[in-house]
Structure 1
């Protein structure tokens, strides 16, 4: 085959969504409350579909099950990663995700959810909720019961280009006015701790998952430091943001022409800005902002030309 797999994303409407996915990436979104672009996904709740080559029309899940050779025979029972772009047009609920063991037991064998965020764009005074102040489980429970949210939740400012690693067990929430690329385990399990007493169009508050949240939250909060490693070589500045248990994530800033060797079973790539050309075995594929693709195992070398920024990940 020796071809990249370009993908059609799936869009999810959310109470906190907006129109930034259309405004910034020119996507054809379903409504003005579109919160999530599931860009590279094999999760049953929203599967990306191949739009080029011999596997056109196939979902990632189908390829994972039927053509594992594309992924270097990786042993995971499910496609392990999920790339999203999130438009937080309003505050997201304060939430926490379980680890693999807890999710397997309590969520029908679902994976846990460790994730990370690259801030694509945000309002000038944007912030996010990241962690909490409680030192013990008793204190955590007490502050939740008393509704002491301003004292419990840690708020930090964010700016474009920031990167955050969010392991399972971390209390967190994106806040209004942020556009984020998220790399995560392939999981759709979220426990809501607090939702600002918001009501939907029918006047209902959203379900909270207080008991499960208390069980899975890391107490006291631990911040995993992100120490980017920058490597410059011909035509590209590569920034490795994180190398963790479930994924490694880079930003590639190509200016001109650069050659790459694929030393992973497969890689996921999302074009955040600019345009260029991907060259694989003599074939050329145009790259434009908002494109997402997988580089399968049988692509050993490739080239990228142009002025283009990508977020790239692998297991």
Structure 2
């Protein structure tokens, strides 16, 4: 008469395993599953109060490392202009370049939701231009969603993209593509500026954006925007009160040289590691210790 008890225990174990698997497939960071993270998953995370990380990526190899680490969302940012293409700003980055970089990141990942940036000049003319540009990132590069800058001024572009079936991540506060008019300054300070930022946040939500980046915004204001909005907020230099956080990966991993923005935390020092490795290689070549027999073919 012990068989039912044994079966019950086995069933309980299986139920617990199924529950754990379901939880793992639900959470964003470190979750498991056979499909990519979706914009619906992002929305559900806000409902659960789950915070999540986002990193930039610009190539397949780096993206594959972040994907294996469990990063649920990657942004193929036009920050590639500064980080990889040698430009002083993001303004010169072209749509062709963003398609190329985004496609590489998509190929290097299997789980992360990939967001492709619409670069300066690819959507400012209006909704129709924005749709053509976004279509290229979706069809040619294979991204799940696109990102564009601007609040109220980009309402029509966001709405048309969403109506056409293209998820949009908005970007307000400091918008780097507007560097020539805006500079690199904290946005939202003072009552009037704060009210404008709140209007921008509500405008992108109303247009259908599934999330919004808040860049270089006072922490208290970013927390208020996060409280008011139903869609997730992604902070960069916006304090701890947002739903998610994003960093440019070359900044976060210590590859970028020079002075870093205050909001950047370095989690590694890759610039020094790479420099030491390059010097060691050069010294081996000059000293005749590389290649050795084990590195040679006959």
Q: TM-score, normalised by structure 1?
A: 0.28
Higher helix share: 2
Q: Which has the larger radius of gyration?
A: 2
Asked which structure has the greater RCO (Cα within 8 Å, sep 6+), the reply is: 1
Higher strand share: 1
